[in-house]
Amino acid sequence: MATRVHAPPSLSGADLRARARAIAPDEIGQIPWLALLQHEERARAVADLRVVQLEAGQLLCRTGRPVTYWFGLLDGLLKMSNDSLLGVPITFTGVPPGGWFGEGTVLKREPYRYNIQALRRSVVAGITVDTFHWLADRSIPFNRFVMTQLNERLGQFIAAREIDRLGDVDARVALSLAALFHPRLYPGVKSLLRITQQELGYLVGLSRQRVNQALRTLEARGLIQVEYGGVRVLDLDRLRHPPAPTPP
């Protein structure tokens, strides 16, 4: 199994506010739902947006903590996880750049039921819960964006349950990698994902060596291309439907 990322203390709501800055003009274009808003709505959202940098291993959200922001990743890589009843870490999904997450928790204003941890130095943006609900109360396009997020995320988690049951490790890596190239949930990824084999191992629950072996197999099949510091997808449809292993 992959080694855990050791976490510095998680950030509280007060920590976030103290460390956060206003969003920069060149970062605004990285937020897909802003373009859907009317002028007044967009102005309030931009004024409310705050940006914070996380170090590798730092927790942005922790199980049981009250929700304060709706977050999106501008740069870096995050992991959504929790601990099982036996204390074993369970990874739900990775969050690459362009991904917004936690809207279900924000809608219900309930404590987090999962942890969000930075796998590397990451830059995160967020709007307050109050502004999220203000937008949801008045903007149909914003509501459609959130509904699409919830629907796609549900499909992603159902697929993740199927991945957990797979005995074929190469298929597990293929499907987990394909999930990070989801065009609706992670529009910032395009065809190249900046991820190391160690980071992918954290997400899949495998050693870096076993991930390397699986990536080489997928590369030989023409599904991906392993590049320095990342993975490029050559055939996303085939990556989502990897062939069954050949019987010995």
Identify the pLDDT of residue 29.
93
Tally of CB atoms within 10 A around 16: 17
In the chain, the N- to C-terminal Cα span, in Å, equals: 25
Rounded to two decimals, the pTM is 0.83
Task: Answer yes or no: are the C-beta atoms of 74 and 123 closer than 8 Å.
Answer: yes
**Token code pair at residue 140:** 């149909």
Q: What does the pLDDT read at residue 241?
A: 82
Task: Identify whether the C-beta of residue 72 lies closer than 8 Å to the C-beta of residue 125.
Answer: yes
163: confidence class by pLDDT, cuts 50, 70, 90: low
Taking only the tens place, the pLDDT of each residue in 199-240 is 999 888 888 999 999 999 999 999 999 998 899 999 999 988
Query: Which stretch of DSSP H or E encloses residue 71?
Result: strand 69-75
Confidence of residue 242 (pLDDT cuts 50, 70, 90): confident
**Sole residue written with tokens 């629907």:** 151
Eight-state DSSP code of residue 75: E
Query: How do residues 66-83 score in pLDDT, each as one tens digit?
Result: 999 999 999 999 998 886
Spell out the residues 6+ positions from residue 184 whose beta carbon is closer than 8 angstroms to its own.
148, 149, 152
Of 67, 45, 152, which Cα lies nearest the Cα of 116?
67
Domain boundaries of the chain, sorted by first residue: 13-158, 168-240
Nearest to 193 by CA among 145, 229, 167, 236: 229
What's the CATH number for 13-158? Answer: 2.60.120.10
Among 200, 203, 199, 195, CA closest to 227: 195
CB contact set of 209 (below 8 Å; sequence gap of 6+): none
Q: Which fold has domain 168-240?
A: Arc Repressor Mutant, subunit A (1.10.10)
Assess whether the region 13-158 and the region 168-240 belong to the same CATH fold: no
